[in-house]
Amino acid sequence: MNEFRAALLQMVAEPTEEANRKKGMEYCRRAKAMGADLALFPEMWSTGYTMDWKPEAMKALATAADGPFVRAFQDLARELEMAIGITYLEQYEPAPRNTLTVFDRFGSPVLTYAKVHTCDFDIESRLTPGDDFYTADLDTAEGPVKIGAMICFDREFPESARILMLKGAEIILVPNACPMELNRLTQLRARAYENMVGIATANYAYGQPDCNGHSTAFDGMAYGEIRPGVVESRDTLILEAGENEGIYLATFPMDKIRTYRKNEVHGNAYRHPAKYRALIEETIREPFVRPDYRP
């Protein structure tokens, strides 16, 4: 396999779910025309990351995983023969979830992931967190790619990408809804570097409340041969959008990424898991105790 092309759909949301369905489908068609293997939406596209503090109102905003909004993108993936990563506020008990479902180019659901690290210091405390991180084999016209997913705030926990790497992820999809500034971009760069994975992040465009575009893609290859026998550090950033709405096509050179992963020192090559027992210690001590923490 030579390349995997991910279209980052950087948009401003519309006022209704139906309007977001129509706009999202239009952007997917444009992504297909650009040659994308997969189109990725920003976080919680069904509502435009709109939520409500009142539980019943929050539930009223949610959409079923097998309902007409999500099915529309399943049907479109099949029609376009292009994978689609659609995001939505999912109907769930006891409270909705912040969810991504990836349909492959045949319209089959290959991965559904609910945000594990909900922002419990804010309105996402009203959501049900996801319970694990998942990977899946995504069939493309050029061959399979092992994908995984994390959503926005998941990025800030090294464990999210590390678990996905350990489960075989080659490309991590990251729907997003926040201002992408220096430190958040640095986090994504670090997750790609330390796990030798590609990371594709789709954010809302400027004009969406508290968002500024800057969707990005990192290929995870921190070193490269600049001429025969000479290897130097390189920037793993392969795409950074500006602030405006648009479709930004990130091309991941899969053959090169796989060769790099077979030979470099990061990822799972030299880890010592038996010495990391403190990572699964559940006690939280000062100065990190927070009254709104949910186990």
Question: Which residues are identified as catalytic?
Answer: 43, 115, 152
Q: How far apart are CA 183 and CA 200, in angstroms?
A: 17
C-beta separation of 171 from 146 below 8 A: yes
Nearest to 114 by CA among 89, 135, 141, 77: 89
Tokens in use for 193? 């570097």
Q: How buried is 61 (Cβ within 10 angstroms: 0-12 exposed, 13-18 middle, 19+ buried)?
A: middle
CA distances from 205 to 25, 138, 150, 241 (A): 17, 27, 19, 9
CA gap 35, 55 in Å, rounded:
41
Cα 246 to Cα 73, 84, 176, distances in angstroms: 19, 16, 15
Q: Contact, 191 vs 197, CB < 8 A?
A: yes
Reading the block at residue 100, the tokens are 């991504």
Query: Hey, CA dihedral for 13, 15, 20, 23, is it positive or negative?
Result: negative
User: What is the C-alpha to C-alpha distance for residues 224 and 197, in angstroms, rounded to an integer?
Assistant: 15
